[in-house]
Amino acid sequence: MDFQMMRVQSLSEGGIAEVPAQYIQPPEERPPISDNLTVIDNSDEDNVPMIDVFGFASEQRDTVCKLIGDACAQWGAFHITNHGVPFELLDQIRGVGLSFFKDCPVKDKLKYACDPNSPASQGYGSKMLRPEAEAEAETSTVLDWRDYFDHHTLPLSRRDPSRWPHFPSNYRQVVAHYSDELKLVAQKLLGLISESLGLPTSCIEDAVGEFYQNITISYYPACPQPHLTLGLQSHSDMGAITLLIQDHVGGLQIFKDSRWITVHPQSNAILVILADQMEIITNGKYRSAQHRAITNSSSPRLSVATFHDPAKTVKISPASELTSNSSPPKYREVKYGDYVSSWYTKGPKGKRNIDALLINC
């Protein structure tokens, strides 16, 4: 059987007792969980902050800015509530995504298959790294235990709903609506993050420029040996800011204080994850969040990540307002397209791509 060409869902539902070798993580990367444990438990007090943004109302802005600044500095991630996105829409995007993976026949799903030889191509897939990455000795060729569908949603010139699933019937409408709503939330958050640093409201959004937004629905099938695999290997996101929702199963973890902390699912909250370009723009005052996804042996899991990135032609560097003779730039300027190419060629492996831009003072 050619496991390399099979989708992870097909492997899982085929009843295999052991995962193929391509999915077995090296010992130092394996999660410390047993076959029957869904996630590592940790207390609510030891979890990412939950911030009520009060519908982004001006009356609460100073308080919210302070809370967001603390969360960005300490975690690089936080949940938000009262964000203005209808709860019904959150349920709908999770619902159409789950229906595609669970109810759509494989032959129909494959009609939307992405190009396996092109990084970040739109469509249904399982593998992310460029083929040449596998030839590099420094890059692990271990595969993630997940399938996904990536949608190019913004700018509107990239949005082509005919390349998205037609099943269920409202799939395309829901994704387009969700895209528009999440763009507004991301813009408001960039304003609050700018203000939390004492910067003009538009500072970070101006540095990022027009959003290039992708929505990735990830499906993590049940795994017969979760202690050997990862649903998504350790990484930090390459763009500016990621907005994520997950289902009730759980499995997302953030690396903080030298340990992995499971992010408890919150059905009506949105998880905000700072990405690498945010770390550069803030000159390291706020660091991107290193995270991963673990698997379990009993329940499939679904998440929806909405990435907001610069155009590939945009040059990213630390904000001038945050640098001085006493606080020089910590990161080299980078053209975002070059950063993306490096990320996909070398592979993620924690935060090595952003760390490679550090200036040795």
Give me 292's structure tokens.
């991963």
Pick out the chain residues at pLDDT < 70.
Answer: 1-5, 33-45, 128-140, 361
Look-up of token digits 């026949």: 105
pLDDT recorded at residue 357: 95
Closest alpha carbon to 269 in 35, 83, 17, 124:
83
Could you please report the per-residue DSSP string of 199-229? --TTHHHHHH-S-EEEEEEEEE---S-GGG-
What dihedral do alpha carbons 218, 220, 226, 227 form, nearest 10°?
Answer: 0
Backbone angles phi, psi at 70, to 5 degrees: -60, -45
Q: For residues 152 and 166, what is the distance between their CA atoms, to the nearest angstrom?
A: 16
pLDDT at 4: 46
Q: What distance in Å separates the CA atoms of residue 211 and residue 169, rounded to the nearest whole number? A: 28
333 CB-side CA count, 13 A: 7
Give kind and range of the element (H or E) at residue 150.
Answer: strand 147-154
pLDDT at 3: 44
**Burial of 94 per CB tally in 10 Å (0-12, 13-18, 19+):** buried
Q: What is the Cα–Cα distance from 6 to 23, expressed in whole angstroms?
A: 12
Backbone angles phi, psi at 272, to 5 degrees: -100, 125
- Residue 65 identity (one-letter amino acid): C
Phi–psi pair at 273, nearest 5 degrees? -120, 120
Burial environment of residue 210 by CB neighbours within 10 A (0 to 12, 13 to 18, 19 or more): exposed
8 Å CB contact between 346 and 139: yes
Instruction: Kindly report, residue by residue over 124-170, the tens digit of the pLDDT.
Output: 998 754 444 444 434 457 999 999 999 999 999 999 999 999 989 99
What per-residue confidence (pLDDT) applies to 138?
A: 45
228 φ/ψ angles, rounded to the nearest 5 degrees: -105, -10
User: Percent of the chain beyond pLDDT 90?
Assistant: 83
Q: Give 4's contacts (C-beta < 8 A, 6+ positions apart).
A: 22
Tell me what the pLDDT averaged over the chain comes to: 91
The HSE-up count of residue 53 (CA atoms within 13 Å, CB side) is 24
CA 181 from chain center: how many Å? 17
| pLDDT single digits (tens) 267-278 | 899 999 999 999
Q: What is the pLDDT of residue 337?
A: 96
- DSSP of 306-319, one letter per residue? EEEE--TT-EE---
Amino acid letter for position 201:
T
Q: How far apart are CA 289 and CA 236, in angstroms?
A: 6
